[in-house]
Amino acid sequence: MKEVVIMSSELIVVTGASGNIGKKISRIVLSRKKNIRVVGRSAEKLKSLVQEGAEAFIGSLENPGEMAQAFKGASAVFTMIPPNYASPDFRAYQNRISEILTQAIQGSGVKYVVNLSSIGAHRPDRLGPISGLYDHEQRLSKLLGVNLLHLRPAYFMENQLTSLNLIRQMGVNGSAFRGDMAIPMIATADIARVAAEALLQRGFQGQSVQELLGPRDLSLQEATTILGRAIGKPDLKYVQFSYEDTQKALVGMGFSADMARLFIEMSRGSNKGLMKPTQGRTAKTTTPTPFEEFVKVLADAYNAASVAVH
């Protein structure tokens, strides 16, 4: 393994840097002319960040030695557990990554950690994969001498990207989540901005939690109406699918049986109100991007795919 060259004492390390949030965080840090090491398994996926000035570390979060090396010399680290929908035992996968990240932080002497968690991670059970993030928070919180910020964002607006094929093929939007319950929704760009500022400013001390709730609560029925107007389908409806049908569909999409089961557990818990925020809507937990603005991303993706099909 290639020895890492320490760039400076002000080094920020971002795991999952080729992902939706990690890449956005990395670009913000780069725009501030700060040293950054981006961690990922694919050199190709990190290439654009390297071209913008980042140092790439090619390694796996499942390799303890590589993560220890990746965090070496860092002043602040962004951690996350990337989704692995095909994992035959997703909770075991989460715990394995969590243990490796925790050991790497402790061994490297990193003093500031911003951890991507989720709304609902205050609960130890009944929320599927989010319960694994509860475990992760608890494990990280045992670290000594580390200033730790857990970010708990709400439902991602980007989740609606997975509905575009359904809308195209079936003429409806839908999932196992209730359509009539108003929930907080957030754009990942807003998560990235908060995370990047925390990594850059390092103004948090001890252990803290910050929920990120988007600009307002809205139901999936409301979101579907807004999306329908944006793609020229003003009568688009939202349908709540049965848990059984959703579980079968997820397996058909490549989810492992275990991951599909956990997703349904999360859906049931959410529908019962178990993912309600604990901090409430304040200036600190509210983020700016409204769904009415974000829907342009969905409409562009929908129209681009429609052109490709024809």
Question: What is the spatial distance between Cα 34 and Cα 294, in angstroms, rounded to a whole number?
Answer: 28
* Strand 183-186 with 35-40, pairing: unpaired
Once rounded to an integer, what is the mean pLDDT over residues 51-79? 98
| Token pair belonging to 262 | 């956990």
Do the Cβ atoms of 140 and 105 come closer than 8 Å? yes
Average pLDDT of the chain is 95
Once rounded to an integer, what is the mean pLDDT over residues 101-107? 98
Once rounded to an integer, what is the mean pLDDT over residues 23-50? 98
* Strand 183-186 with 147-153, pairing: unpaired
Q: What is the value of pTM for the model shown?
A: 0.95
Once rounded to an integer, what is the mean pLDDT over residues 6-30? 89
- DSSP bridge partners of 217: 184
Task: Give Cβ neighbours of residue 133 (< 8 Å, ≥ 6 apart).
Answer: 81, 94, 117, 118, 121
Give the pLDDT confidence of 113-133 residue by residue, as tens digits. Answer: 999 999 999 999 999 999 999
- Which own/partner pairs from 242-251 qualify as long-range (CB within 8 Å, at least 24 positions apart)? 242/176, 243/176, 243/267, 243/268, 246/175, 246/176
Once rounded to an integer, what is the mean pLDDT over residues 154-171? 97
The fold adopted by the segment(s) 11-157+185-212 is: Rossmann fold (3.40.50)
- DSSP bridge partners of 183: 218
Terminal Cα distance for the chain, rounded: 47
Per-residue confidence (pLDDT) for residue 308, from 0 to 100: 54
Name the band, by pLDDT with cuts 50, 70 and 90, for residue 158.
Answer: very high
Question: What is the spatial distance between Cα 265 and Cα 275, in angstroms, rounded to a whole number?
Answer: 12
Once rounded to an integer, what is the mean pLDDT over residues 284-293? 98
Once rounded to an integer, what is the mean pLDDT over residues 77-88? 97
Per-residue confidence (pLDDT) for residue 307, from 0 to 100: 58
- Is the pLDDT confidence value at 198 over 80? yes
Once rounded to an integer, what is the mean pLDDT over residues 135-148? 97
Question: What is the spatial distance between Cα 63 and Cα 40, in angstroms, rounded to a whole number?
Answer: 12
For 214-245, b where at least 16 C-beta lie within 10 A, e where not — what string?
Answer: bbebbbbbbbbbbbbebbebeebebebbebee
90-108 and 129-140 helices, crossing angle to 10°? 20
Per-residue confidence (pLDDT) for residue 6, from 0 to 100: 38
Name the band, by pLDDT with cuts 50, 70 and 90, for residue 5.
Answer: very low
What are the boundaries of each domain within the chain?
A: 11-157+185-212
Per-residue confidence (pLDDT) for residue 9, from 0 to 100: 53
